[in-house]
Amino acid sequence: MTTPQHITTLQPNEIFVFGSNLFGAHGGGAARQAYDEFGAEWGVGVGRTGQCYAIPTMQGGVETIRPYVDEFIKYAKQHPELTFLVTRIGCGIAGFTDEQMAPLFAQATKIPNITLPHGWQELCRQ
C-alpha cells in the first residue's frame, strides 16, 4: 500500500507522518497541514502530536534524521492498531531528495501498518 499523494482526511486509526523542525514551528508544507488539519501541536517537533507523528528533518544532514526515523519505526511496531501514512518527509522545505530520504525507511517496508510515498518502496531496495 502507498501513502496517497494528497491527504485531505484521516480515518480515526490513521496517523499523518510529516517532516518537522525540532522547535515544532509548523509554518509550511506538510507540517503546516499537520497543524491546520490534523491537530499537530505548535512546539512539538518530535513524535506523536494530534493525529500526527513528527519527524524532524531541518537540523542537519540525512544522518541526523536517521535516529528519528528509527524511533518512528519502533513506535509504529508498538502500535499495530494504527496506520501510519508517511509523507515525502524532508523532500519539501528541508531540500532533500526522495533518493536521500527513502532509504532511511528501508525497515519500514517490513511493517504492515506503515505506508510510504509512491516510489519509496523501490528506492528502499536500491
Q: Which domains occur in the chain, in start order?
A: 14-125 (3.40.220)
pTM of the model as a whole: 0.96
The string of pLDDT tens digits covering residues 1-17 is 799 988 999 999 999 99
Nearest residue to 89 (alpha-carbon basis) of 81, 76, 80, 98: 98
**Which class for 36: exposed (0-12), middle (13-18), buried (19 or more C-beta within 10 A)?**
exposed
Cell numbers found for residue 44: 512539538
Distance CA 90, CA 96 (A): 5
The string of pLDDT tens digits covering residues 79-121 is 999 999 999 999 999 999 999 999 999 999 999 999 999 999 8
Q: What local confidence, expressed as pLDDT, does residue 1 receive?
A: 79
Distance CA 50, CA 59 (A): 22
74 falls in which pLDDT band (50, 70, 90)?
very high
Distance CA 112, CA 26 (A): 28
Averaged confidence pLDDT in the chain: 95
State mean pLDDT over 39-51: 97
DSSP-derived secondary structure letter, 60: S
Distance CA 34, CA 56 (A): 13
Distance CA 26, CA 32 (A): 5
The dihedral of CA 119, 5, 103, 99: what is its sign?
positive
Q: What local confidence, expressed as pLDDT, does residue 111 receive?
A: 96
